């Protein structure tokens, strides 16, 4: 999802199922920055194909892409370290931890944003 921000892709969306509510993140690239908007819908069973504008926008912010990517890598690392990959899988049974996506994002971030932070140097499969 966030890795799409390094290509020519359009807005990227990801939804979180909070039973019954849906929380939807929309990331939109604006030059070197990324606009993040978070929408909330009362019922995921009906909102999954609903346009963003019909939800309640609860937060939005524009951040440099390097800062956002770094925050995502760090947050993902924290979750992995806390639960381990197996623990994560147990917790969110049908959504195993997106290790490949995390590695892909980290590589793009390291290459394009020249980040030297230790979390951005390691590879998850090591």
Order of strands, edge to edge, in the sheet holding 21-30?
12-18, 21-30, 33-41, 56-64
- Interface with Zn ion by CB under 5 A: which range of 36-44, 45-53, 63-71, 93-101? 63-71
Nearer to Zn ion, 44 or 108 (CB): 108
Farthest CA pair distance, the chain: 44
Nearer to Zn ion, 31 or 116 (CB): 116
Question: Is 76 an interacting residue with respect to Zn ion (CB under 5 A)?
Answer: no
Other C-beta atoms within 10 Å of 120: how many?
19
- Interface with Zn ion by CB under 5 A: which range of 41-49, 54-62, 82-90, 107-115? 107-115
């Amino acid at each position: 999802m966030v890795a799409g921000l390094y290509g020519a892709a359009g807005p990227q969306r990801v939804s979180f199922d909070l039973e019954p509510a849906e929380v939807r993140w929309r990331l939109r690239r604006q030059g070197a920055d990324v606009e993040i908007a978070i929408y909330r819908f009362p019922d995921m069973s009906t909102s999954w194909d609903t346009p963003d504008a019909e939800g309640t926008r609860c937060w939005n912010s524009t951040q440099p892409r390097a800062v956002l990517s770094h925050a995502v890598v760090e947050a993902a690392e924290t979750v992995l370290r806390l639960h381990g990959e197996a623990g994560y899988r147990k917790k969110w049974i049908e959504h195993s931890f997106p290790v490949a996506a995390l590695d892909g994002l980290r590589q793009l971030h390291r290459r394009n944003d020249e980040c030297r932070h230790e979390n951005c140097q390691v590879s998850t499969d090591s």
